[in-house]
Amino acid sequence: MAGSIQTTDALVLFPASRKLFRAGIEVKPCNAESFLAVTFKSGVIHMPNITIDDFMSSFLVICVAFEQSHPNISKYFMRYAAFLDCLSNTKKDVDLLYERKVIEHGFESDDQLATYINALGKDLLFGFDNVYLPQEDDFDNLSKMFNEVDAYYRSGIRWKWADFKLEYCHKPWLLISAFVALVYLLLTFAQTFISGYAYVHPNGKQ
């Protein structure tokens, strides 16, 4: 409920989209009534497509400034600006989000969009400990998502599995080489076992 801010956990910032991708976290477009309705489930950030053109870029700046100047209202746009800032650290991050069809823009280059997003979220970081989740909030999933994505990202097992998929599944010749090496080891083991068994039991008798 707007105007009823609870001092619960502050938002936890997570790495940019390329690092998330390396950790096995995908970003996919989804349908929703609002572009603010971002969710995270089973290693996938579901994000409604947004076009950041002249109107939207100005709209976000105005909304973020309004929320910053009114401490007792819900921080929908501040959280969303922080979310975009986390995802879009560099031009390459923006490229990845564009490929995933979650962000389109009217800027002259991806570099300009990355600069805009970083500027939008920059000042938020200084007062982030004061951005809390309201007790009742239609868009509370976005706040919860920060912690969920960060926890998923820090999972060592998922990192290793994601690295394996990127290293081998995207380079089939490496996978074939690894398979051949495994077969060679198994054959060598089998030959050694048979030779040892024949030495111990030369006549095939116990």
Whether pLDDT at 184 is above 70 = yes
Q: What is the pLDDT of residue 24?
A: 84
Same domain, yes or no, for 119 and 195?
A: no
Long-range contacts formed by 61-64: CB under 8 A, 24+ apart: 61/120, 64/120, 64/124
Torsion-angle region of 8 (φ positive above 0: left; ψ -120 to 50: alpha; else: beta) = beta
Regarding whether 98 and 119 lie in a shared domain, the answer is yes
Q: Is 1 exposed, middle or buried (0-12, 13-18, 19+ CB in 10 A)?
A: exposed
Q: What angle do CA 79, 11, 100 make, to 5 degrees?
A: 55
Total structural domains within the chain: 2
pTM above 0.95, yes or no: no
Q: Encoding tokens for residue 202? A: 């030369």
pLDDT at 36 over 60: yes
Note whether residue 137 is domain-resident: yes
The C-alpha atoms of residue 60 and residue 49 are separated, in whole angstroms, by: 15
- Identify the pLDDT of residue 182: 77
Q: How far apart are CA 158 and CA 151, in angstroms?
A: 11
Range of the domain at 36: 17-159
The answer to whether residue 206 is domain-embedded is no
Please check the confidence at residue 180 and state whether its pLDDT lies above 70.
yes
